[in-house]
Structure 1
Amino acid sequence: MSFDLPSDTILPVSAVTVRLDAAPHPFTQAHAAAIEANWQRETEANPALFNGEVALLSSLSLTDGQLAGRCHIVRYSAFLYWRRLRPVGGAGHVYTHAMLVSADNALIAIRMGAQTVNAGLIYFAAGSFEPADFQGGQADLEFNMHREVGEETGIDLKRFPHEAQYHVLSKTTGTVLFRRYFLDRQADEIAADIRSHVRADADPEIEGPVVIRSADDLPDRLAAQMPDLIAWHFSTPRA
C-alpha cells in the first residue's frame, strides 16, 4: 500500500483509474474495536448520522499525469474514525469537485447543513464515492459529480459544458479531483434556484449556496482544499 502524490500542489491529470478492491480494507480490520467505539460517540453527539457505505483508498499515485488508485468499500463509521486519525499510512480519501462557474465568473459553493459531520463548512457540492459510483469496478468521476450536485443543489450538470481535463490537489484531509462547469446564468440567479431547491427538500444536506466572487474576499469556514481551488480559478483562464 502506498501514496505517492505531491502535497498542496494543483496538477493536471490526463487519466484517472481508481479501481475497487472487493477485499476488506486493512484499516477496518486493524481498528475494528476502535471504529465501533468511535461510532457510538459520534452517534450520541449526532443521532442523524447514517452508517452507509463509502470508499476508502489503500493506494494512490500520480505518474506522468496518470492518477491510479485502489479503494475498498467501508462503513461510514470506519471513514469517520479514519478522519479522526488522519493522516494514516495505508488509508486515504479521494473525492471529486464540480466547480460551478457562473456567467459572471463567480464560483458557486455550498455551506453544509447543521446535521452533517461537516456542519457549517463551505466547499463545492460533493460526496464520497459510494458503491453506485463504480462502473465495471472503476470509479466513474462524472457520475459521482452529477449525482452529488443534483442531490444537493438541484442543478443538472449534463446541461452545461465543462473543461475536458481534471486537476488534482492532495491535502492532509484528502485528495480532490476537480474540473470546472460553466453555467449560463448570473451567480445570484443560480443561488436563488439552489435556495428554492433546499426549501423544497424534506431532508436537505446543505444550508444553502455561497457565492465567491474573488480570491481576495473569502467567506468564513472554508474547507481545507478551498483556498487553493479558489485562487487557481481566478488566476486560470477558461481552457
Structure 2
Amino acid sequence: MFTVHHVAALDLAFKPMDWPFATERAAEIAQHFARLKQVKPAIWNGRILQCRNRRIEDRVYRADYFETDFAAFMAWRDWNAAANGVSHCFGGGALRSADGAFVLGTMADHTANAGRVYFPAGTPEPGDIVAGRVDLAASVAREITEETGLEVTDYVVEDGWAVVEGPRFSACYQPLRAHLPAAALVEKINAFLRRETQPELSEIIAVRNLDDLPASAPEFVRAFLADAFARREGA
C-alpha cells in the first residue's frame, strides 16, 4: 500500500487553485468541524496547504500545492472523500539518536491524532511558501522545535529525503541525526514536555527495531522504519 522513495531533493511549487470539494461542500464541512471541536476544543481552523500532481523526476520529488483550511482537510480525510488528484503531502523529521535509535512521540489527547505514534511532523502552512516554492525543510525544523523543544543546533540534517507515498498522501521524511544518545535525547525532550502547558506529545519512544514500535503507529510510519532497518542491515 505504501512505497518508500529515496530522493535527493524536493521541488514543491505553490500553484493556487479553487478546490471544488471545499467550496461545494462548505456547509457540511463547517458542521463536521463544529462536531470535532466539541470533542477536541483545542483544534483550530487555520490555513494549510494541500497538494496535487505528485511525481518523481531525476531523483527529485515534485508536487504542486494550493491553500485551503484545516476544516476542509479534516472532512476530506475523515470522509475518505474522492481524491480527484488531491493529496496531503507533509514533512517530518526522521529523528535518530547518536547511537542509532529512532525517536518518535505519542500525540497528546487534545490533538486531532490523539494516541497515534509519529515522528515530529506537521501540515505545511502558507508561511512555508518562499518565492513561490513550499519549503518543507523549514516546516520540519519548526515542527521539531514545537513538538520536542530541540533546536537546529541539537542535530545534523543528513542528505536526501525518504518519501513514503500512499494513494492519498505523502510523508516526506528528512533524516536528522541528533548529537545525544537515545536515553539522553529522550530525557531532554521529556524535560521540555514537562515545562509545556499543553504539549503536543504525551510520550517519547526510542525505536531500535520494529518490535519496539507500538501498534498505535500508523502503517506509513511502520513502512518507513521497515525500509530504514532493512537498508541499515544491507549496508
The verdict on a shared fold, with TM-score over 0.5 as the criterion, is yes
Equivalent residue in structure 1 for 2:134, among 122, 126, 139: 139
Judge conservation of contact 1:18–1:71 (CA < 8 Å) in 2.
yes
> Alignment RMSD, CA only?
1.9
- 1:31 maps to 25
Matches within 5 A, 1:186-225: 186-225=181-220
Name which of structure 1's ranges 48-57 and 228-237 shifts more when overlaid on structure 2. Answer: 228-237
- The secondary structure found in structure 1 opposite 2:55 is strand
Q: Deviations over 1:100-159 (max 9, x none)?
A: 111221110011010011001001011000111111121112111100000110111344
Equivalent residue in structure 2 for 1:89, among 64, 84, 90: 84
Judge conservation of contact 2:93–2:121 (CA < 8 Å) in 1.
yes
Amino acid at match of 1:119: A
Name which of structure 1's ranges 165-174 and 103-112 shifts more when overlaid on structure 2. Answer: 165-174
* Cα separation, partners in 2 of 1:58 and 1:34, compared to 1, 3 Å: farther
Question: Which stretches in structure 1 are left out of the alignment for 5+ residues?
Answer: 1-6
Name which of structure 1's ranges 19-28 and 76-85 shifts more when overlaid on structure 2. Answer: 19-28
Amino acid at match of 1:226: V
Distance 1:39 1:233 in 2: 36
Distance 1:178 1:47 in 2: 29
Judge conservation of contact 2:160–2:175 (CA < 8 Å) in 1.
no
Say yes or no: does 1:47 pair with 2:41. Answer: yes
- The secondary structure found in structure 2 opposite 1:144 is helix
Say yes or no: does 1:119 pair with 2:114. Answer: yes
Deviation at residue 57 of structure 1 after TM alignment: 1.5
- How many percent of aligned residue pairs carry the same amino acid? 26
Distance 2:8 2:99 in 1: 28
Distance 1:59 1:29 in 2: 20
Name which of structure 1's ranges 112-121 and 151-160 shifts more when overlaid on structure 2. Answer: 151-160
TM-score with structure 2 setting the length: 0.91
Distance 1:117 1:140 in 2: 24
* Cα separation, partners in 2 of 1:220 and 1:227, compared to 1, 3 Å: same
Judge conservation of contact 2:83–2:168 (CA < 8 Å) in 1.
no
| Segments of 4+ moved more than 3 angstroms | none
Question: Which stretches in structure 2 are left out of the alignment for 5+ residues?
Answer: none
Equivalent residue in structure 2 for 1:80, among 74, 79, 83: 74
Say yes or no: does 1:18 pair with 2:12. Answer: yes
